[in-house]
Amino acid sequence: MQVIANPRCSFEPRSVVSGSARVRVCGVPRSVSRAAAVKPRASVPARSSGYPAVCTPSPHTVSAPKVKNKAPAEIQITAEQLLREAKERDLEILPPPPKQKISDPEELRDYQHRKRKGFEDNIRKNRLVIGNWLKYAQWEESQKQIQRARSIYERALDVDHRNVTLWLKYTEMEMRSRQVNHARNLWDRAVTILPRVSQFWYKYTYMEEMLENVAGARQVFERWMEWQPDEQAWQTYINFELRYKEIDRARMIYERFVMVHPDVKNWIKYARSGIEDVIVSKRKYMYEQEVIENPTNYDAWFDYIRIVENEGNVDDIRDTYERAIANVPPSKDKQYWRRYIYLWINYALYEELETEDVERTRQVYRTCLELIPHRIFTFSKIWLMYAQFEVRCKNLQQARKTLGTALGMCPRDKLYRGYIDLEIQLREFDRCRILYQKFLEYGPENCITWIKFAELETLLGDIDRARAIYEIAVGQSRLDMPELLWKSYIDFEVSQGETERARQLYERLLDRTVHVKVWLSYAKFELNAENADNINIEMARRVYERANDSLRNAGEKESRVLLLEAWKEFESEIGDDIKLEKVLAKMPRRVKKRQKIVSEGGVEEGWEEVFDYIFPEDEMVRPNLKLLAAAKKWRLQKESDNIESYEDNSQSKESESQNVDTDKDNSDGINNK
């Protein structure tokens, strides 16, 4: 026997008997595995000397065996990190198969043959896996092979006829293909085989109701109720009857329901529904009595009609509307007609939206328009609603004729605007121009009309025509909102890049008014204007200076304060400290004063405290004003003194003349004696 010796082994040898020969091998402790304790070297055959081979100890000392470090690593890797890395690297995403383009019928048949063979092989391997059948049938449906898909579904039902998903997919395919009778037959088979699957019954009744087969849906519900289903099924049947206003049928179903499910909560629902019916009946009777006692109580008519509409009986609803509109207000005052006219509006909307009776709707509108005394007052809303109704009916000629008749009989701003909006939607801009001209002849003081007309011409690209409209507008002697018109005109010129024209408009406007908002807008315009020499700041500062002088002469102290605040903010943004100091020097002081309260009759009613502003510029002028006042007073005093001295002289002269006459008379008497 030949044994491989390890020259580095330092363990004590132990003898091993193998056959008849005694050999000595290395002894290894049991606690250390041989693979860990002995590091094998190259195998060298032992020399044959007649003695058994032995392990010669190594003269060198062997180190202790190394034990693996079982402590946890510093960085732990979680399953979430592994999944995230796999997703980031797209390890599980396979590239999509190449797209095939089929160019001829033969290639299509070959493709279909390969696909069908693959599906059939999958079914043959796993016949009980319904997913294979569903994929096969859905593929045939995508190929527009409904008959083949139907055959596959039938084969699948032979395998597992109790599979709910299979029945649902089968019937959904028939409904998508608009095969109503096939779908109805499938639902019938499904509920016969699996009557305890509520999903079949729900979908079956829903399909019949969507097909407006109310009787068929009711029959399906009755078949379902024979199996005594859960509470939700009974409640669905009751809600179905309530949707079609079958109160008596719903009550009978409730009675059967509480017998099958005699729970307290079901009895409470039944009692509550009965209470609601009683309440509705009582309210209906109350409103009926109220409209009989006071036929012109239109609010009661509205409530009564609402209750009748909830019942859903078309004949009763129409009869109620006819009774309501027959109560015409006895007075020709418009305030008594405002509520009454909404009866006609609701009637027309009901006929158009609910019953979809076009002719009856048209007749309702025409009768209402014939009833209104248009020479005294009118309702623009009725005219516009009738015209819009004719437009919806694609009767554009009648809509225009209706609005033209309205403008001829009773022109109103709302009618003109509605007619113009209609023509703009129809892109009939020539008609819009004509209507705007008629509108301005009717109300030339309406600034909104002028602005809308000019904006229309601007949108159409006729700038000269729009400018001419603005010029005619600002030249009107009477306008309701001139400030809005001027602002629109200036914005128009600014949008066209006509800076000089806009500046001239500001000057023309300032000739008419010195309002502070105009000055502020003018200054802002000059600051943002496009000037070749970049003198915007100086132009704006000049406007502020002119505005301050104008408002000081006009005595508008509060407007002047607003102007100086804006001026100060302007200089602060510019950053000119010298100019800012000059503006701050112009800022006023606010003082409190007392003044008498005088009524309209001229009677003093006491005193009140008011705030006044004292401007430094006014105080600088005040000494000169005092001097002038003193000079004027001195002059008046001097004139009064001169008048008094003149009167004294004249009186003295008269007295002297009287004395002379007396002396003369005395002398004459003496001479006569």
Mean pLDDT of all residues belonging to the chain: 82
Tell me, what's the pLDDT at 157? 93
Q: Check residue 436 and give left, alpha or beta (phi > 0: left; psi -120 to 50: alpha).
A: alpha
Any idea which of 322-331, 616-625, 659-668 has the lowest mean pLDDT?
Answer: 659-668
Mean pLDDT comparison of 57-61, 101-105, 305-309, highest-scoring range: 305-309
* Whole-number Å distance between alpha carbons of 344 and 346: 6
- Residue 623: pLDDT band by 50, 70, 90 thresholds? low
- Residue 341: pLDDT band by 50, 70, 90 thresholds? very high
* Whole-number Å distance between alpha carbons of 26 and 216: 97
Closest Cα to residue 26, out of 8, 41, 51, 44?
8
Any idea which of 102-106, 282-286, 408-412, 599-603 has the lowest mean pLDDT?
Answer: 599-603
Is pLDDT of 125 > 50?
A: yes
Any idea which of 129-138, 298-307, 525-534, 540-549 has the lowest mean pLDDT?
Answer: 525-534
| Domain tally, the chain | 1
At 415, list the tokens. Answer: 């009618």
Tell me, what's the pLDDT at 534? 67
Q: Tell me, yes or no, if the pTM score tops 0.75.
A: no
Residue 255 CA from chain centroid, whole number = 48
Distances (CA, A) of 584 to 87, 526, 536, 568, 588: 70, 22, 22, 7, 9
Tell me, what's the pLDDT at 513? 87
Any idea which of 41-50, 143-152, 169-178, 422-431 has the lowest mean pLDDT?
Answer: 41-50
Mean pLDDT comparison of 430-434, 495-499, 632-636, 666-670, highest-scoring range: 430-434
* Whole-number Å distance between alpha carbons of 238 and 274: 13
Question: Whose structure tokens read 């009748």?
Answer: 308
Strand partners, 598: 604
Is pLDDT of 587 > 60?
A: yes
Is pLDDT of 147 > 90?
A: yes
Is pLDDT of 638 > 50?
A: yes
Tell me, what's the pLDDT at 648? 55
Residue 227 lies in a domain: no
- What are the φ/ψ torsions at residue 503 (nearest 5 degrees)? -65, -40
Strand partners, 16: 23
Any idea which of 135-144, 411-420, 602-611 has the lowest mean pLDDT?
Answer: 602-611
* Cβ–Cβ < 8 Å for 301, 324: yes
* Cβ–Cβ < 8 Å for 305, 324: yes
Tell me, what's the pLDDT at 225? 94
Strand partners, 17: 22
At 307, list the tokens. Answer: 């209750």
* Whole-number Å distance between alpha carbons of 288 and 324: 11
* Whole-number Å distance between alpha carbons of 470 and 484: 12
Domain residues for the domain of 615 are 590-627
Closest Cα to residue 322, out of 292, 282, 364, 382?
364
Is pLDDT of 36 > 80?
A: no
* Cβ–Cβ < 8 Å for 229, 198: yes
* Cβ–Cβ < 8 Å for 537, 513: no
Please report, in angstroms and rounded to a whole number, the separation of the first and last CA atoms in the chain.
Answer: 219
Is pLDDT of 35 > 50?
A: no
Specify the length of the chain in residues: 673
Is pLDDT of 69 > 60?
A: yes
Q: What is the pLDDT of residues 519-575, one digit of tens each?
A: 999 989 888 887 766 688 888 889 888 988 888 888 888 888 888 888 888 888 888
Return the amino acid letter for 89. Answer: R
Residue 338 CA from chain centroid, whole number = 31
Mean pLDDT across the stretch 189-196? 94
Cα atoms in the Cβ-side hemisphere of radius 13 Å centred on 618: 15
Q: What is the pLDDT of residues 195-220, one digit of tens each?
A: 999 999 999 999 999 998 999 999 99
Residue 615 lies in a domain: yes
Distances (CA, A) of 574 to 177, 253, 526, 529, 541: 76, 84, 14, 16, 11
For 484-504, give one letter per residue: b (16+ CB within 10 A) or e: ebbbbbbebbbeeebbeebbe
* Residues contacting residue 348 through CB under 8 Å, at least 6 positions apart: 361, 364, 365, 368, 385, 389
Residue 617 lies in a domain: yes
Residue 594 lies in a domain: yes
> Looking at per-residue confidence, does 333 or 14 come out higher?
333
Distances (CA, A) of 214 to 229, 240, 243: 21, 9, 11
Is pLDDT of 34 > 70?
A: no
- What are the φ/ψ torsions at residue 17 (nearest 5 degrees)? -95, 120
Is pLDDT of 268 > 70?
A: yes
For 631-670, give one letter per residue: b (16+ CB within 10 A) or e: eeeeeeeeeeeeeeeeeeeeeeeeeeeeeeeeeeeeeeee
At 177, list the tokens. Answer: 């293909």
* Cβ–Cβ < 8 Å for 419, 407: yes
The one-character DSSP state at 350 is I
Q: What is the pLDDT of residues 408-424, one digit of tens each?
A: 999 999 999 999 999 99
Residue 618 lies in a domain: yes
Is pLDDT of 45 > 70?
A: no
- Residue 644: pLDDT band by 50, 70, 90 thresholds? low
Residue 607 lies in a domain: yes
Percentage of the chain beyond pLDDT 70 is 81
Is pLDDT of 504 > 60?
A: yes
Tell me, what's the pLDDT at 391? 94
| Cα Rg of the chain (Å, integer) | 55
CA dihedral 374, 376, 381, 384 (to 10 degrees): 30
- Residue 662: pLDDT band by 50, 70, 90 thresholds? very low
Tell me, what's the pLDDT at 93? 66
* Cβ–Cβ < 8 Å for 488, 474: no
CA dihedral 324, 330, 334, 337 (to 10 degrees): -10
Tell me, what's the pLDDT at 39? 41
The one-character DSSP state at 525 is H
Residue 622 lies in a domain: yes
Percentage of the chain beyond pLDDT 90 is 47
Residue 283 lies in a domain: no
- Residue 582: pLDDT band by 50, 70, 90 thresholds? confident
